[in-house]
Amino acid sequence: MSLCVNPRVIRYAMGVILLLMAVACTWAADLNGAGATFPYPIYSKWFDVYGQKAHGARINYQSIGSGGGIKQLQAGTVDFGASDAPLSDEEMKTMPAPVVHLPTVAGAVAVAYNLPGVAKGLKLTPDAVSKIFLGEITKWNDREIAGANPGLRLPNMPITVVHRSDGSGTTYIFTHYLAAVSHTWATKVGVGKSVNWPVGLGGKGSEGVSGLLNQAPGAIGYVELAYALQSKLPYAFIRNKSGAFVEPTIASTTAAAAGAVAAMKKDVRVSIVNAAGRGAYPIAGFTYILVYKSQADKAKGTTLVNFLRWAMHEGQGYASALVYAPLPKEVVRMNEAAMKSIVFNGKPL
């Protein structure tokens, strides 16, 4: 007995098989990343939105601090790291392979406080900020603080300093600022993702610092602006290089970032703390995604590059609502060129 099959059925079945194969080939690989808490609010949004758009791509991210993200990238346990502190030349040498830095957004580090009766807008000079964190100013009614806030009744209350306890890019930006405005800080403490703090209590992550600030009347600390707003913490206006007291906002962060574009053409690992310009907020920085130039897995590498391209364009539209400054167009173009250097087996992804 012969078995006959309708040719139309065969063609239909083959078409279904080819369609399924095409879908399987374009289905995005899952990615794992870890690092900075500073950009966590916008990264969470990006990963969620992109996952819905890109064939269900899942991007899992551990908000463990910049230092932890760099260590995990170095160990090869994640597909990308995230840091507010770019790798130094010496740190680059310790990585198992060349790393590409991709600035994603810019953000402000707010000097937040918990001071009964004093709302947002306390004015602080660079000297006052550095002396508070050095432990040299210990009371809220100190003449250095009072002098910048005439007419404001400041309480005779001890100041409790709160800082990060983990390796943090936010700490890197903040200590970079302190070193830029205080010779004493630069020589006694220095700059780093983790430093030996002269005084204060340590909190793990931006969440931990925000929590301590909310719990301790008289406390002062530093957190990314989005965390200060989410935690309903008042924050200071800081006197900038031009002598103006500036509020941390998207506009003042953008003003700080704009002045760095020329230097970024040589190296994207730039500092924008204490930037010139009357409208520039002085404690701001770019945050970076770090990826290996040569990818070990083609599917993961392709998904990673596709996500990064999306983040540099459509993703920037989510920045302002989450209190980050979108990248200047010139920096987006620099990132596009950098992404072309990411390869698998020597071929661009």
H or E segment to which residue 153 belongs: none
Cβ neighbours of residue 337 under 8 Å, at least 6 residues apart?
Answer: none
Place of tokens 């698998």: 344
Q: What pLDDT score was predicted for residue 20?
A: 40
Q: Where does residue 51 rank: exposed (0-12), middle (13-18), buried (19+ CB within 10 A)?
A: middle
The average pLDDT across 296-310 equals 96
Residue 233 pLDDT more than 60? yes
Rounded percentage of the chain residues whose pLDDT exceeds 90:
87
Average pLDDT over residues 315-331: 96
Query: What is the pLDDT at residue 53?
Result: 87
CA distance 84 to 107: 10
Q: Where are the beta strands (DSSP E) in the chain?
A: 31-35, 59-63, 80-83, 99-114, 123-124, 160-164, 201-203, 219-224, 237-239, 245-246, 284-292, 343-344, 347-348
Residue 200 reports pLDDT greater than 80: yes
> What type of residue is 100?
V
- Which helix (H) or strand (E) segment holds residue 317: the answer is none
Residue 27 has pLDDT above 80, yes or no: no
H helix intervals, 190-287: 205-215, 225-230, 250-258, 261-264
pLDDT computed for residue 12 by the predictor: 57
Same fold, 29-105+286-348 and 108-284: yes
pLDDT in tens, 261-299: 999 999 999 999 999 889 999 999 999 999 999 999 999
Q: pLDDT band for position 7 (50/70/90)?
A: low
What are the CA-CA distances from residue 103 to residues 197, 236, 266, 289, 332 (Å)? 28, 26, 14, 6, 9
Please give the DSSP secondary-structure letter assigned to residue 325: B
Question: pLDDT tens digit string along 130-176?
Answer: 999 999 999 999 999 999 999 999 999 999 999 999 999 999 999 99
**Residue 270: other Cβ atoms inside 10 A:** 17
Position 8 pLDDT exceeds 90: no
Give the confidence band of 4 by pLDDT, cuts at 50, 70, 90. Answer: low
29-105+286-348 placed in CATH 3.30.365.10? no
- The reported pLDDT for the residue numbered 125 is 98
Q: Enter the tokens of residue 113.
A: 């406080």
The pLDDT value given to residue 23: 40
Written as one letter, the residue type at 38 is: F
23-32, 191-200, 201-210: lowest mean pLDDT where?
23-32
Which strands sit side by side in the sheet containing 123-124, from one edge to the other?
123-124, 237-239, 245-246
Q: Per CATH, the architecture of 108-284 is what?
A: 3-Layer(aba) Sandwich (3.40)
> pLDDT digits over 286-296, tens only?
999 999 999 99
Domain chopping of the chain, boundaries: 29-105+286-348, 108-284
* Residue 132 amino acid letter: I
What's the pLDDT at 259?
86
User: How much is the mean pLDDT over the chain?
Assistant: 92
pLDDT at res. 18:
45
pTM of the full structure: 0.87
Q: Mention every residue, 6+ apart, whose C-beta is less than 8 A from residue 87.
A: 70, 95, 99, 101, 269, 290
- The pLDDT assigned to 21 comes to 42
Residue 161 pairs with which residues in a beta bridge? 220
Of the pLDDT bands very low, low, confident and very high (cuts 50, 70, 90), residue 22 is very low
Q: Is the pLDDT of residue 10 over 80?
A: no
In the prediction, which pLDDT does 54 show?
80
User: Does 277 or 342 have the greater pLDDT score?
Assistant: 342
